[in-house]
Amino acid sequence: MSGSEAKKKEKTVKLEKVAEETGELIGKGIRKTWNVAKSFEKGLVGTLEKREERKDAASLTCQHCGASILPSSNFCARCGKKL
Ligand SMILES: [Zn+2]
């Protein structure tokens, strides 16, 4: 009787070990995914910053008052002078 009880205990220990190892593996996977997400975020921010720079370069400023003007508009929205 005591023999089977010892076996039961061993099985429980083994299961705990498996759970621990699985947990570690999951943790590693999450960390890996997190790193990928982080690098992706970095790339996304870089792309957005580049886009912002391009937007700045494309935007016009009024020669008369210095207000920023949409590239498609022909008149300054602030002083109303033709560009
Ligand atoms: Zn103006």
Identify the DSSP state of 74: S
Distance (Å) from CA 71 to ligand 1 centroid: 13
Distance (Å) from CA 79 to ligand 1 centroid: 4
- Beta strands 60-61 and 68-69, pairing class: antiparallel
Distance (Å) from CA 55 to ligand 1 centroid: 19
Q: Please report where in the chains the tokens 């083994």 appear, as a residue.
A: 14
The pTM score is 0.33
Distance (Å) from CA 48 to ligand 1 centroid: 29
Q: Give tens-digit pLDDT for 55-80.
A: 555 578 899 999 988 888 889 989 99
Q: Give tens-digit pLDDT for 7-45.
A: 777 777 787 888 888 888 888 887 888 888 888 778 877
Report domain extents, the chain: 2-69
Distance (Å) from CA 61 to ligand 1 centroid: 8
Dist. CA 39–CA 45, nearest whole Å:
10
